[in-house]
Amino acid sequence: MRRRHWEGLGYVLLSLSAGAVLLVLGAVVLFLLVQGAPALSWEFFTSFPRRGMTQGGILPALVGTGYLMAGTVVISVPLGVGAAVWLSEYARGGRWLRAVRVGVNALAGVPSIVFGLFGLAFFVKAMGLGVSLLSGVLTLSLLALPVVIRAAEEALRAVPEEFREGAYALGATPWQAIHTVVLPAALPGILTGAILAVGRAAGETAPIMFTAAAYYTPRLPRSPLDEVMALPYHLYVMATESTFFWKTRHLQYGTALALLVLVLSFYLIAGLLRARARRRKRW
């Protein structure tokens, strides 16, 4: 009897914690919808901010974030997948392997503001790239890299050993086995992880604050060495630094909503991809 009571209580508590997660997400989304929806319009997405940011839209920030994400994919995915392939397929124990593994974990634990400052010191100053799209992309790639590596390594390890043995037994070289059998089988998992990592990076403010983001640019970026506006930073400056920040509440919420939808849609794509892969996977 006693035991059943505890069982019941445990079940209720655990369900509550699970429910709380949904509740928080629901509350955030609902709040942003109510506050931000009035700001949304065609013009909001297609025009520049005007009159000290109290009017107009978020076009340059949207485009800037798009460029940052695309650049981050281009750099962090090949590098991350390469590292993951080495870790899971080539590395055979030893100090070097341990060092890389510790490095990946440490990198994943570094606070994003530290990446921002490192980017400022290294890419912006030391390499002389200046505050630019390129510096921002490189900094965000560092942030996304450990996540991409971990996801890709997990996906590679989930590929059954029998596939590798099958390929090796036919006389495949390690690289042939990897690129003809192992990588294709792991691809859905790798893509899912990469999308999640880049989605996460897209919402970060700290890494781009000193490396790429501009308070305002009068035109869209034309070269990788241009400064860019970006959604998270735009939101930050509108809420804290703009001259009439109390007049721009609805624009701030609209921007927050746009950022949230952008990031969540990435998660959605990742989820769909994963579901599709699971349906088609038969080993």
Residues making contact with another protein (CB under 8 A): 92-93, 160, 162-173, 176, 180-181, 184-185, 281-283
Residue with tokens 């003809």: 180
Nearest distance, CB of residue 168 and another protein, angstroms? 6
Nearest distance, CB of residue 78 and another protein, angstroms? 23
- Smaller CB separation from another protein, 92 or 219: 92
Amino acid at residue number 255: T
The tokens for 116 are 């921002």
The tokens for 182 are 């192992």
- Smaller CB separation from another protein, 173 or 223: 173
The tokens for 185 are 């089988």
Q: In angstroms, how far is CA 113 from the centroid of its own chain?
A: 15
Local structure of 171: helix, strand or coil: coil
The conformation of residue 219, written as its DSSP 8-state character, comes to S
Residue with tokens 């991809």: 273
Nearest distance, CB of residue 194 and another protein, angstroms? 20
Nearest distance, CB of residue 277 and another protein, angstroms? 11
Residue 107: HSE in the Cβ half-sphere, 13 Å Cα cutoff: 19
Instruction: Give φ, ψ of 216 to 5 degrees.
Output: -155, 135
- Smaller CB separation from another protein, 52 or 184: 184
Nearest distance, CB of residue 167 and another protein, angstroms? 7
- Smaller CB separation from another protein, 87 or 202: 87
Q: In angstroms, how far is CA 26 from the centroid of its own chain?
A: 21
- Smaller CB separation from another protein, 128 or 161: 161
